[in-house]
Amino acid sequence: MNKNLGWKLILIIAAILVFVYGVFGVPSGVSGGALANGLLNPSPMRNGIHLGLDLKGGTHLILQVQVNDAVNVDTDNALQVLKSGLKNAKVASADVSKPDPTNHPEQIVIKGVPPESAADLRTIVEDRLPEYSLVSSANNTFTVTMKPTNLADLKSRAVQQAIETIRNRIDQLGVSEPIIEEHGLGDYQILVQLPGIDDPARVKEIIQSTAMLEIRQVFSGPYASQEDAYKSGALPEDAVVMPGKNNPDGSPTFYVVSRIPAVSGKDLRTAGPGTDENGRPAVSFTLTAEGGRKFYAFTSEHVKDLLGVVLDGKVQSVATIDEPIRDQGIIKGRFTDQEVKDQAMILRSGALPAGIKYLEERTVGPSLGSDSIHAGIRAAVVGMAAVLIFMLIYYRAAGINADIALILNLVILLGFLGYTGATLTLPGIAGVILTVGMGVDSNVLIFERIREELRNGKTPPSAVEQGFAHAWVTIVDTHVTTIVSAIILFLFGTGPVKGFAVTLSFGLFANLFTAVFVSRVIFDWVLSRKRIGEALSI
Amino acid sequence: MAGEGTRPTWTKKGSSSVEFFRNPNIDFLGKKWYFIVFSLVFSTAGVLSMLFWHGIPLGIDFRGGTLVYVKYSHTPDDNAIRAAMDRAGLKNVRIQTYGGTASNEVLIDVPQANDQAALEHPREQVIGALSSNAPAGKQDLNNTSSLALTSYLMQKDPLHLGTDAQQRYTNSAQAITNFRDKTKGGVLASFDELKGTAEPAVLTSIEDGFFLSDFGVYQVEIVGPQVGAQLRKQALLATLYSLLGMLIYLAFRFEWIYGVAAVITVFHDTLITVGAFSLRDYPMSLTVIAAILTLIGYSNNDTIVVFDRIRENLKLMRREKLSDIVNRSINQTLSRTILTAGLTFLTVLALFLFGGEVLHAFSFALVIGILIGTYSSIAIAAPILVAYQDWRSDRNRPPVVPAAGGGRREKVKAKA
């Protein structure tokens, strides 16, 4: 027994060191400042304890991507394809429309297709709309529907693109540790958590906009330099000079454009590679309904004028407005295929593929956060102190055993949190406090049993052994049921509740180790130093 | 059992250990009618309150709506606030004082609006409604974020920094908002308080463009109807699965009647706890549900400890009456039960008294839960077992004994 005792003690001390490292790293000193520094600065090996929003302050948003918007964009394109295809096949009388764009955006109904043209229609769908299926019904009516797998795929891609776009935009705020991810609880929901930012209005504004794409009226240009642009003549009142895309030889160009754009980034729905009327690579873009309206109004008034597409503050291409444009357009220029793809991707990452609706918004100011931390720590210290003192009084020397186990419990728990980079929330602090309370239960179980065995006349070593043996069964039962509860809480909970479940679970595992193994080792060590027949202080 | 003096006791001689329950021998089962009455009284009070008085008070997580936490620089006037809300078109607003009386904090509860659009700007609406005498063109420094402050400073550029402005002004803005939030608790009373937090030119520029209202909003929670419904469903599912998990595990380790007894016990505990919330009209939020799930776990723990002892004693004392065995088991575990309950209660009490306002409802649930959970293992779970066995023996069927920990069934005839 004595040989094993040595190894067991070493194991325990090693465990203590490992978990202390999990919490603090290697502190440069033993001052409060050094410890706090270690606590908050993670190293690559340990992620450090993260503070949840309710302790750090910040903004929490849940938004829902209106995926039907994205579907509508696709089916609008398909509609155009069908219309032009049918026109070419000389089926002029057909009526192509979407009966229910709000609830069933994936459906297009075509009426009035004579039977002899059915084959043409089928060819159009098979060749040019492979993601769609064609179903015929009575009265020369056909329904073109997006295939279910394509539909699901489109919707999930819309959500992913929205997440990327939002991430790009939020980066501008310089938030540390932002969380932008799909929210498990509902359909097409995204969770955005920004610690340290307490201005949700600003966040929402940033999410909705982008500075990347603008369309402005071009008054004159290109000029070789800014001076030339200014000298060209009296500038209209609301005009500015903007740089344009560089010439192939690298020399800069400048244009005189309107100060206010006709259409800006938030009116952009999506962009993709396409071709212009000469078959050369061009970027085709689609605007939102609102953007389309604005653009139509603008282009109607300015037929025959010039307009320029401005990307990132540079005029990319200039074209004459031949006829009013609604919501689909192309950016022509001296693009290569690759440039078109890149450009489209940049535009897309700056574009929200669908509208978003806000479902939940919570902000916690930083002052509340630090108040909460202080209150939580205060309660933890008071609670812990009460328990420690009581154990000493009630169980005397064995109480020291219990107290050591409890403190070790706390260290291991915090170490677990540090290693896994778990988030500590306010209910999480409550979970720590509760773990202390429930952890002491195991000790009480064992000690009461030991007392009982001693009362029944067993010798101390035998009483200790019996005490642990009997209590072990109960300890397992109680811990398993509580861990099951905690797992369910973790699966079904959000944010702070998850934090609570995590600390509770870790605490229970830590407790199994300390109450059973560590306590036993300490008892064995105490017993090994007693002579035979000496009594046990408990 | 022989008295204490006849066998050597191995506790330290000369000092008596502190022990509350040396050898209790209370007839718990005999008192079961008192327990039933006690439980009935409290559960009925709770149920009546839930049905006819306060209902089940749902927190914002479950019913949707807007909660705005405001700190004033003086004692807030509820009537003035309500009038301001009415003027802005926000009807049926509930106003509660929050924190202590000295903290001047108020909680404004705007009920769920039916149109989604209202979810877009309720915070701005409330702030706008509260700052009734805002000078035109100026922003409220007490309710401006550091981002907005930085934008303003970059625009005005009081230090004429040109291109290097971003970092400098961000730091200044953050210094000012940190001072306002951390040192002044979120509300500045006058611009003089800002002296020293930033350069004088910056401060003058701020005074030009901002005014100081008498309040600062420090927390906002807005939950849309969709999320509210989702969270309700989650909470319900979590509780049901928890109970199911318990039932299955206990049926596996003991016998199914033990599982049923535990579930009834836990149901009783939850009913009384939710009843307590209803009686006090305390809103139940997600964290309260977490507390309730915890106390389900705790009550279950307690019940299992008693059940384990019963199982052990049933093997040892085969010839005794079941009610005697159960009584003895409870008495044997009594010291542990009271101790653990007491210690856990101590920690939860510390939470309740010192844990701050945010955790108040959570710790309230735990305080009630631990008391009731401990009581119920003795008063509800054990009597159910005995009552069931009595019912079985009345019908002349052999009583059922939990297996010795493995799954083998032993049918033992206990003397009636």
**pLDDT band at B400, cuts 50/70/90?**
low
Domain extent listing, chain B: 25-59+224-394, 65-223
Question: For chain B, first and last CA: distance in Å?
Answer: 23
DSSP at A267: G
Closest Cβ opposite residue A454 in set B10, B69, B347? B10
Instruction: Specify the pLDDT at position B365.
Output: 92
Q: Looking at the predicted complex, does its ipTM rise above 0.90?
A: no
Q: Which residues pair with A107 in a beta bridge?
A: A145
The model's pLDDT over B140-196, given as tens digits with 9 standing for 90+, comes to 888 887 777 887 887 777 777 765 667 788 888 888 888 887 777 778 878 888 888
- Helix, strand, coil percentages (3-state) for chain A, rounded to 5, are 55, 20, 25
Query: Distance (Å) from the C-alpha of residue B391 to the closest C-alpha of chain A?
Result: 28
Q: What is the pLDDT of residue B164?
A: 61
The SS3 call for residue A85 is: helix
* Contact state of A358 with B234 under an 8 Å Cβ cutoff: no
Q: Cβ of A197 and B10 within 8 Å?
A: no
Minimal CA separation from A103 to chain B, in Å: 18
Q: H/E/C letters for each residue in chain B?
A: CCCHHHCCCCECCCCCCCCCCCCCCCCCHHHHHHHHHHHHHHHHHHHHHHHHCCCCCECHHHHCEEEEEEEECCCCCHHHHHHHHHHCCCCCCEEEEECCHHHCEEEEEEECCCCHHHHCCHHHHHHHHHCCCCCCCCEEHHHCCHHHHHHHHHHHCCCCCHHHHHHHHHHHHHHHHHHHHHHCCCCCCCHHHHECCECHHHHHHHHHHEECCCEEEEEEEEECHHHHHHHHHHHHHHHHHHHHHHHHHHHHHCCHHHHHHHHHHHHHHHHHHHHHHHHHCCCECHHHHHHHHHHHHHHHHHHHHHHHHHHHHHHHCCCCCHHHHHHHHHHHHHHHHHHHHHHHHHHHHHHHHHCCCCCHHHHHHHHHHHHHHHHHHHHHHHHHHHHHHHHHHHCCCCCCECCCCCCCCECCCCCC
Chain A CB contacts of B363 below 8 Å = 430
Structural class in CATH, domain B25-59+224-394: mainly alpha
Residue B12 pLDDT > 60? no
Question: Could B223 and A430 be called an inter-chain contact, meaning their C-beta atoms sit closer than 8 Å?
Answer: no
Through-space distance between the first and last CA atoms of chain A, rounded to whole angstroms:
22
CA distance A189 to chain B (A): 10
For residue B231, list chain A residues with Cβ-Cβ distance below 8 A. Answer: 185, 494
pLDDT for B283: 85
What is the model's pLDDT at position B405? 40
B164-167 long-range Cβ contacts below 8 angstroms, 24+ apart: none
Whether B223 and A360 lie within 8 Å, measured CB to CB: yes
| Range scoring the smallest mean pLDDT among A210-214, B107-111, B145-149, B302-306 | A210-214
Name chain B contacts of A175, Cβ cutoff 8 Å. none
Judge whether B239 and B289 are in contact, CB under 8 Å.
yes
Q: Which two tokens stand for residue A455?
A: 């009362």
Place of tokens 């230090």: B159
Would you place residue B1 in the very low, low, confident or very high pLDDT band (cuts 50, 70, 90)?
very low
Using an 8 Å CB-CB cutoff, list chain A residues near B116: 357
pLDDT digits (tens, 9 = 90+) for B61-83: 888 888 888 888 888 888 888 88
Chain A: closest CA distance from residue B102 (Å): 15
Task: Please state, in angstroms and rounded to a whole number, the distance separating the CA atoms of residues B254 and B403.
Answer: 6
Size of the A and B interface in Cβ pairs below 8 Å: 273
Chain B 177-236, residues with CB within 8 Å of chain A CB atoms: 178, 181-182, 185-186, 216-224, 226-227, 230-231, 234-235
- Out of B216, B238, B305, the one facing A492 most closely (by C-beta) is B238
pLDDT score, position A46? 58
| pLDDT in 10s for each residue of chain A, 538 residues | 455 778 888 888 888 888 877 777 666 666 666 666 666 666 655 566 778 888 888 888 888 888 887 788 778 777 777 877 888 777 777 788 888 878 888 888 888 888 888 888 888 888 878 888 888 888 888 888 888 898 888 888 888 888 887 887 777 667 777 888 888 766 889 989 888 887 788 788 777 765 456 788 888 878 887 777 777 766 676 777 877 777 767 677 888 888 777 777 667 777 777 777 777 888 788 888 878 888 888 888 888 888 887 776 677 777 777 777 777 887 776 677 767 776 676 676 666 677 788 888 888 877 777 777 788 888 888 888 888 898 888 888 888 888 888 888 888 888 888 888 777 887 788 788 778 777 888 888 888 888 888 888 888 888 888 888 888 888 888 888 788 878 887 887 776 777 788 888 888 888 888 888 888 888 888 888 877 767 777 7
pLDDT at B50: 84
Q: What is the pLDDT at residue B118?
A: 54
Contact check, Cβ <8 Å, B297/A485: yes
- Assess whether pLDDT exceeds 60 at residue B5: no
The one-letter amino acid code at A420 reads T
Residue at token pair 């929200």: A352
- Max intra-chain CA distance, chain A: 112
Kindly list the structural domains of chain A, giving each domain's residue range(s) and its CATH number in brackets, ordered by start: 2-57+365-528 (1.20.1640.10), 67-150 (3.30.1240.20), 213-357 (3.30.1360.200)
> Is B287 within 8 Å of A202 when comparing Cβ atoms?
no
Q: How confident is the model at residue B2 (pLDDT cuts 50, 70, 90)?
A: very low
Average pLDDT for B54-66: 82
Q: What is the pLDDT of residues B127-156, one digit of tens each?
A: 777 776 677 777 788 888 777 788 788 777
- Nearest of B259, B339, B363, B238 to residue A438 by alpha carbon: B339
Pairing of strands A189-195, A141-146: unpaired
Report the mean per-residue pLDDT for chain B.
78
How many helices (H) and strands (E) in chain A? 15, 19
List the one residue out of A42, A120, A61 whose CA is nearest residue A87.
A120
- Which class for A383: exposed (0-12), middle (13-18), buried (19 or more C-beta within 10 A)? buried
Contacts of B185-193 spanning 24+ positions with Cβ under 8 A: B185/A367, B185/B71, B186/A365, B186/A367, B186/B71, B186/B142, B186/B216, B186/B218, B187/B71, B187/B72, B187/B73, B187/B142, B187/B214, B187/B215, B187/B216, B188/B73, B188/B141, B188/B142, B188/B212, B188/B216, B189/B73
At A437, the amino acid letter reads G
Between the CA of residue A98 and those of A109, A296, A353, what are the distances in Å?
Answer: 6, 22, 20
Number of Cβ atoms within 10 Å of the Cβ of A2 = 8
Q: Does B122 have pLDDT greater than 80?
A: no
For residue A186, the model assigns a pLDDT of 62
CB contacts of B182 in chain A (<8 Å) are 366-367, 370
Nearest CB neighbour to A379, from listed B181, B339, B354: B354
Asked if residue A517 lies in contact with residue A442, where contact means CB atoms within 8 angstroms, the answer is no
Which of A368, A374, A457 shows the shortest C-beta gap to B7? A457
Contact A444 B227 (CB under 8 A): no
Q: Which residues of A touch B250 (CB under 8 A)?
A: 481
Q: What residues of chain A lie within 8 A of the CB of B17, using their CB?
A: 395-396, 451, 538
Confidence at residue B272, expressed as pLDDT on a 0 to 100 scale = 92
* B288-309 core/surface letters (b: 16 or more CB in 10 A; e: else): bbbbbbbbbbbbbbbbbbbbbb
Residue in B70, B71, B73, B351 to test binding to A, most A beta-carbons within 10 Å:
B351
Find the residue in B nearest to A185 (Cα): B230
